[in-house]
A and B are shown apart, each in its own frame.
Chain A
Amino acid sequence: MQYTQRRFDAVELELLWRRLISLVDEAAAALVRTSFSTLVRESYDFSCVVTDAQGQSLVQATESIPSFIGTLPETVKHFLRFFPVEALQPGDVLITNDLWLGTGHLPDITVAKPIFRNGRVVAFSASTAHAPDIGGKIRSPEPREVFEEGLQIPPMKLMRGGQPDDTLVAIIRKNVRTPEQTMGDLWAQVVALDLMEARLKVLMDQAGLEDLSDLAREVQARCENAMRAAIAALPDGTYHSELQTDGLMDKPVTIRMALTITGDRIHVDYAGTDPQVDRAINCALCYTYAMTMYGVKVCTTPTLPNNEGAWRPISIAAPEGCIVNPVFPASGGSRMLIGHYLPMLVFGCLGQVVPERVMAATGSPMWGMNQSGVNAAGKPYANMFFFNGGMGGNVRGDGISCLSWPSNVSSTAVEISEHIAPIRIHHKRLRPDSGGPGKHRGGLGQEILIESRSETPIAVSFLAERTIFPAFGVEGGRNGAPGMLRINGEIVDPKRQYVLQRGETVLLATPGGGGHGDPAARDPHALEADLASGHVTDSTPYGE
């Protein structure tokens, strides 16, 4: 095709970039407000993106969780392999929740819409959001194969030329516990796609753009160059880190990383990492990719806008069949129990060259309790509540207590939880002494005591990690307190499912963050304040 390449000056580019950001943010705002899923609307467990005709991202919504920023543009590229542009018509909406092509677990549904101009595809609007339910064994580490985890939707068309595929809709409705809400959220995602399309067309009209290729090339190149410059400023070399996770409790999992800086490129290799397991903690390569990129970006270019260009200088390899690159039919519903450790491994490597840009280990992966059952009226229900541990201390200060990281999932209000589930929460409080001692101590974890008030049994499963291996301190800082799960007062295996009868209790204690620096060097006033507040009750680690 013949066309002249359009150039953009510093002002034009800024103006167009701003318009792109505001259009995806507008779509994101609409999605949050129309969504049924608590995860989407209160935890921003979604993302919206505009890609060029090749599926390379131009701009992504400001508020979304880090994992989707990495996975969503990749899913659009997968769509293009199944549906080349010739197979698309205006009004089509593509859909999938494939574990390997999507985000590594089935509840995340991705939809994408081709945007046409003068008869050809010039862009895609796309969105991933966490569905209220996808069927299968509720969010638990127990499933051994993906088949147990719910409905799998291969890449296909949810809408053809503006018409929904009634067969697919009927199948989805039949396979999920909450058909109205799951479908309601899907239509909310379609609203967001339509909105991005409409705004993008106006933008292209006003800017006189026939397609997006020149603009895409320009914004991607700028981000790529910035990322390359940031990497080039780091010393070349191969840096290693490894850590152990609780894994299957009796069988910890070891993850190994070798991060190589060569000029303006980074290569990350997970060789030596333990094999995949027959539990749902396997972390598909798409999620591994996203979490690794997140770690690199935090240390190198935290303020850079997200688009394809930023990722080009970074490559990732993981042996097939290892836990960070599992193969079919591995289960992965709780892949964050591995995936959330990966940015920490990046810190382990890059901390050797830029220690001021990393923190001690955090009390992540995130914690959660899933409940499902049949209520007194005979209706099935399912709820997921999240809880977070403490952040690691860093060179500038203490870790923040109870903060979602690397994800960004807030906890549900106690009052809301008690409204939507037959439970009472007896306390939700900070855990004294859980922050790892240090010159800058780790953030505190929290303790939550929950009692069933249900006449019918409640099946509960958990997201719970760092019950064996605590968040480690760095630069002489000490470890944070490990997490703990008790049912009716007894310490239990958090990777299994349990059934609660009325009056039975669950106690979750999330891990504290690791400390940063020698505790003896802690500012005496800070220690005094900690003692006064009860955040620290034992000052012996501080040399007192």
Chain B
Amino acid sequence: MTASLSLGIDIGGTFTDLVLLDPSDGRAVIWKESTTPDEPARGAMVGVERLLAKAGVAASRVGRVVHATTLFTNALIERKGAPTGLLTTAGFADVLEIARERKYELYDLFLEMPRPLVPRPWRREAPERLGPDGTVEKALDVAATLEEVAGLVAQGVTSLGICFLHAYANPVHERQAAEAIARRFPQLSLSLSSEIAPEIREYPRTVTTVANAYVRPLAETYLKRLETELKRVGIGGELFLMLSSGGLTHVAEAKRAPVQLLESGPAAGALAGAWFGRHAGLERVLAFDMGGTTAKLALVDGGEPLVAWGFEAARTKRFLRGSGLPIQIATVELIEIGAGGGSIARRSDLGTLHVGPESAGAQPGPVSYGRGGTEPTVTDADLALGYLNGDFFLGGAMRIDTATARAALARLADRIELDQPRAAFGVHDVVNENMAGAARVAIAERGRVPQDYALLATGGAAPVHAWQVGTKLGIGRVVCPPGAGVGSTIGMLMAPARVDRVASFNQALAHTDWAEVERVLAALQADAEQVVRASGADLAQRRLRKLADMRYVGQGSEITVALPEPLSAEGVLEAFETAYRRLFGRTPPGAAVQFVALRLSVAAPMPGAGSALRLETHAAEAALKGRRPVYFPEEGGTLETPVYDRYALPAGAQLDGPAVFEENESTFVVGPGARISVLRDLSILAERTA
């Protein structure tokens, strides 16, 4: 028997999700294990052994393991990384602390800014200087540099970030310093800005470099431990890591630049959206995940999640832009909104109905959980409206109480001068508008229209809200894939190997040295393909993308443009202007265009990335479980609505809305006037007919 199975392990804050997939027939077995935060590998391994037992297969049959984890993000948020030092160009040790000089909230006098990852005494300066074009203006003083580093090592620093001015244009001094330091202090972990994030602007580049240094020793230890443990239980297959970009990489690359893994969990979720969307025959998908506290949205175009070239980590105020650390790493674009099942509904100071971002979380949780919650939440409203079944919450594992939910909503209704049903639907409607509003802005920022997308709902609460959110956005198709609770883990197993590389490239389009462009791209490609090849991916089927960050001369923000083949000034100009017009409607007349950076992305399919999925199903005759009154706004009241066990519905089944589909982790609610079909992979597709 060949070692052909794929194992996915996704370690989240509360649960570790595991899935075992047989790519030959798409059969999947899933398992949920509690995360062990003190030692995440332990919980993961318990889960692995239980999953293998459940599936009844030998460890030796696992051919590869794909892993995503929030461990590194948490280390950053909780400030539990390695004692980290920073070496900068003389005169600029405070860049990290001076930061952007902007408030993230205009009217709050009591702002908390993100604390620098490296305290002042551990930020040291090296005598050296480069000009903006990379010319050496002052040679690196190696002896003085080593003396500074010796001081740091003596104080217990184990990891060092090196970020010199203009190193994106020329890495020479960073490399010289690194070589000398490595010789003298071989145990010190080194992260160079020219290797981690070679992009102009010293503050974000320094933060990214330092964040890498901060989590790197942890990543090395943890990944080594996980590899050993997997071998111990008899899994011989190779370990791959999920990157923030939605690609996979091998362990050596993950150990070198773990800052690329910060968003690996959410990226896996977006990939699952892409995968299910592709199987439903949908080109453009808005992946919509809603849990207890937050909702996440990701745009998927042409079967791939959109990738941004930077994001903000560890925000001091979770949903406020500017309150976190800028990380210049390719990352699946996620819009995060403070909207979840636990979001609390309140009368605002202005007398309107506010929902979230405050959340009742899991403790005390919604009022209906009976754990001491007193303020109504989105889950309470969903229950009162008939969307959720109090007797079949989490597959009946937990009873939630409709009467207390209604009572809490009635108290809220009094405060905002409405009747209870109107207030209950108001809670549902307002939280949907919060999500739809964020989606509208995000889609418009990319020059697209919502009507071109299908909404794909995963996570506990998204299927409950997706139909109504779709209505608000004018989206006609809503898909609810199977196994919503572990969707992101499934996504990982389908992920390609992927490498994104960037090089700073500051040239006017009119005077571009095209040979130089080709040379830079070739160097990036060689580097990227080497990593992809080492991952065992099929390079013959690789998809290569050559991109450029470009702007009009004088602008300060760039757009990323796919470069045409063959390269020419006219072709590039046309590609740039087309992309610009699409985003902004018009191009400024007479303005010159320039390159800022060249980017290259290589993705290649992994062997064993299955192309179908089969989950355990129930007997078809038990499909219709009963009927219950469910509130639909277009009816202005409740309709007696059929309730189905979704796993008892066979592929190919056709139904009409309204309908409710229950599974253990979630409930999919579809309104009147929908045509519903069960797809081959058991995804449920609801299409608006009116």
B584 lies within 8 A of chain A by Cβ: yes
B618 CB to closest chain A CB (Å) equals 39
Contact A132 to B554, CB < 8 A, known contacts A180-B588, A446-B98:
yes
Contact A14 to B91, CB < 8 A, known contacts A9-B418, A26-B440, A415-B200:
no
- Do B98 and A38 touch (CB < 8 A)? no
Query: What A residues does B99 contact at CB under 8 A?
Result: 402
A96 CB to closest chain B CB (Å) equals 22
Contact A191 to B584, CB < 8 A, known contacts A404-B102, A415-B201:
yes
Contact A184 to B102, CB < 8 A, known contacts A25-B441, A428-B91, A533-B119:
no
B91 contacts which of A43, A411, A429 (Cβ < 8 Å)?
Answer: A429
- B interface, size bucket: 35 or more
- Do A19 and B445 touch (CB < 8 A)? no
B224 lies within 8 A of chain A by Cβ: no
Binary CB contact string for chain B from 559 to 585 against chain A (1 if under 8 A, 0 otherwise)? 100000000000000000000000111
- Do A410 and B202 touch (CB < 8 A)? no
Query: What A residues does B685 contact at CB under 8 A?
Result: none
- Do B101 and A416 touch (CB < 8 A)? no
Query: What A residues does B101 contact at CB under 8 A?
Result: 386-388, 402-404, 409-411
Binary CB contact string for chain B from 431 to 455 against chain A (1 if under 8 A, 0 otherwise)? 0011001101100110000000000
Which of A27-35, A283-291, A369-377, A461-469 forms contacts with chain B?
A: A27-35
Contact A401 to B97, CB < 8 A, known contacts A66-B106, A418-B132:
yes
B477 CB to closest chain A CB (Å) equals 20
Contact A222 to B351, CB < 8 A, known contacts A26-B444, A180-B588, A396-B110:
yes
- Do A414 and B94 touch (CB < 8 A)? no
The A177-198 residues at the B interface (CB cut-off 8 A) are: 178, 180-181, 183-184, 187-188, 191, 194-195
Nearest B residue to A427, CB-CB: B91
A135 CB to closest chain B CB (Å) equals 17
Nearest A residue to B110, CB-CB: A396
Contact A297 to B107, CB < 8 A, known contacts A9-B417, A15-B430, A222-B352:
yes
- Do A415 and B111 touch (CB < 8 A)? no
- Do B441 and A415 touch (CB < 8 A)? no
Which of B35-43, B342-350, B487-495 forms contacts with chain A?
A: B342-350
B11 CB to closest chain A CB (Å) equals 34
- Do A35 and B437 touch (CB < 8 A)? no
Taken together as a complex, chains A and B put the C-alpha atoms of A396 and B586 apart, in Å, by 48
Query: What A residues does B422 contact at CB under 8 A?
Result: 9, 11
- Do A533 and B121 touch (CB < 8 A)? yes
The A412-433 residues at the B interface (CB cut-off 8 A) are: 413-416, 418-419, 424-430
A107 CB to closest chain B CB (Å) equals 15
A302 contacts which of B107, B119, B350, B351 (Cβ < 8 Å)?
Answer: B107
Binary CB contact string for chain B from 99 to 135 against chain A (1 if under 8 A, 0 otherwise)? 1111100111111010000011100000001011000
A229 CB to closest chain B CB (Å) equals 9
Nearest A residue to B103, CB-CB: A408
- Do B109 and A394 touch (CB < 8 A)? yes
Nearest B residue to A449, CB-CB: B91
Taken together as a complex, chains A and B put the C-alpha atoms of A226 and B556 apart, in Å, by 39
A244 CB to closest chain B CB (Å) equals 23
The A9-62 residues at the B interface (CB cut-off 8 A) are: 9-11, 13-15, 17-19, 21-22, 25-26, 29-30, 32-36, 38, 41-44
B107 contacts which of A303, A400, A410, A532 (Cβ < 8 Å)?
Answer: A303
- Do A36 and B555 touch (CB < 8 A)? yes
The B408-430 residues at the A interface (CB cut-off 8 A) are: 416-418, 422-423, 425-426, 429-430
Taken together as a complex, chains A and B put the C-alpha atoms of A403 and B445 apart, in Å, by 29
B93 lies within 8 A of chain A by Cβ: yes
Query: What A residues does B92 contact at CB under 8 A?
Result: 414, 427-429
Query: What A residues does B369 contact at CB under 8 A?
Result: none
Query: What A residues does B585 contact at CB under 8 A?
Result: 191, 194-195
Nearest A residue to B168, CB-CB: A415
A333 CB to closest chain B CB (Å) equals 22
B316 CB to closest chain A CB (Å) equals 12
Contact A223 to B103, CB < 8 A, known contacts A33-B584, A419-B132, A430-B94:
no
B325 CB to closest chain A CB (Å) equals 15
B166 lies within 8 A of chain A by Cβ: yes
B2 lies within 8 A of chain A by Cβ: no
Contact A180 to B132, CB < 8 A, known contacts A303-B107, A402-B98, A429-B91:
no
Taken together as a complex, chains A and B put the C-alpha atoms of A391 and B378 apart, in Å, by 40
Nearest A residue to B120, CB-CB: A533
Taken together as a complex, chains A and B put the C-alpha atoms of A525 and B91 apart, in Å, by 27
Query: What B residues does A15 contact at CB under 8 A?
Result: 429-430, 433
Query: What B residues does A429 contact at CB under 8 A?
Result: 91-94, 98
Query: What B residues does A400 contact at CB under 8 A?
Result: 111, 113
B216 CB to closest chain A CB (Å) equals 24
Nearest A residue to B321, CB-CB: A63
- Do B350 and A226 touch (CB < 8 A)? yes
Taken together as a complex, chains A and B put the C-alpha atoms of A15 and B585 apart, in Å, by 28
- Do A35 and B103 touch (CB < 8 A)? no
A200 CB to closest chain B CB (Å) equals 13
A308 CB to closest chain B CB (Å) equals 14
Taken together as a complex, chains A and B put the C-alpha atoms of A388 and B441 apart, in Å, by 32
- Do B417 and A18 touch (CB < 8 A)? no
Binary CB contact string for chain A from 470 to 514 against chain B (1 if under 8 A, 0 otherwise)? 000000000000000000000000000000000000000000000
- Do B94 and A446 touch (CB < 8 A)? yes
Contact A410 to B100, CB < 8 A, known contacts A36-B554, A302-B108:
yes
Query: What B residues does A403 contact at CB under 8 A?
Result: 101-103, 111, 113
B14 lies within 8 A of chain A by Cβ: no
- Do B347 and A415 touch (CB < 8 A)? no
Nearest A residue to B504, CB-CB: A415
- Do B91 and A11 touch (CB < 8 A)? no
A380 lies within 8 A of chain B by Cβ: no
- Do A18 and B166 touch (CB < 8 A)? no
Taken together as a complex, chains A and B put the C-alpha atoms of A504 and B47 apart, in Å, by 67
- Do B348 and A33 touch (CB < 8 A)? no
B353 lies within 8 A of chain A by Cβ: yes
- Do B111 and A14 touch (CB < 8 A)? no
A184 contacts which of B200, B349, B425, B591 (Cβ < 8 Å)?
Answer: B591
Query: What A residues does B103 contact at CB under 8 A?
Result: 403-405, 408
Taken together as a complex, chains A and B put the C-alpha atoms of A274 and B327 apart, in Å, by 48
B557 lies within 8 A of chain A by Cβ: yes
Binary CB contact string for chain A from 123 to 154 against chain B (1 if under 8 A, 0 otherwise)? 00000000010000000000000000000000
Nearest A residue to B108, CB-CB: A302
A212 lies within 8 A of chain B by Cβ: no
B585 CB to closest chain A CB (Å) equals 5
A534 lies within 8 A of chain B by Cβ: yes
- Do A408 and B94 touch (CB < 8 A)? no
Nearest A residue to B440, CB-CB: A22
B376 CB to closest chain A CB (Å) equals 14
Known: A191-B585, A413-B200. 13 other contacts (CB 8 A): A10-B352, A21-B437, A26-B441, A33-B445, A41-B555, A180-B591, A386-B101, A394-B109, A410-B100, A411-B100, A415-B201, A416-B201, A425-B91
**CB pairs A–B below 8 angstroms (27 shown):** A9-B416, A10-B347, A11-B425, A14-B430, A18-B434, A19-B433, A26-B440, A26-B444, A30-B444, A34-B555, A36-B552, A42-B556, A43-B102, A180-B591, A183-B588, A222-B350, A298-B107, A298-B109, A302-B108, A303-B349, A304-B350, A396-B110, A413-B201, A415-B165, A419-B506, A429-B94, A535-B120
Residues of A within 8 A of B (CB): 9-11, 13-15, 17-19, 21-22, 25-26, 29-30, 32-36, 38, 41-44, 63, 65-66, 132, 178, 180-181, 183-184, 187-188, 191, 194-195, 222-223, 226, 294, 297-298, 302-305, 357-359, 386-388, 394, 396-397, 400-405, 408-411, 413-416, 418-419, 424-430, 446, 449, 532-535
Residues of B within 8 A of A (CB): 90-95, 97-103, 106-111, 113, 119-121, 129, 131-132, 137, 165-166, 168, 200-203, 321, 347-354, 416-418, 422-423, 425-426, 429-430, 433-434, 437-438, 440-441, 444-445, 506, 552, 554-557, 559, 583-586, 588, 590-591
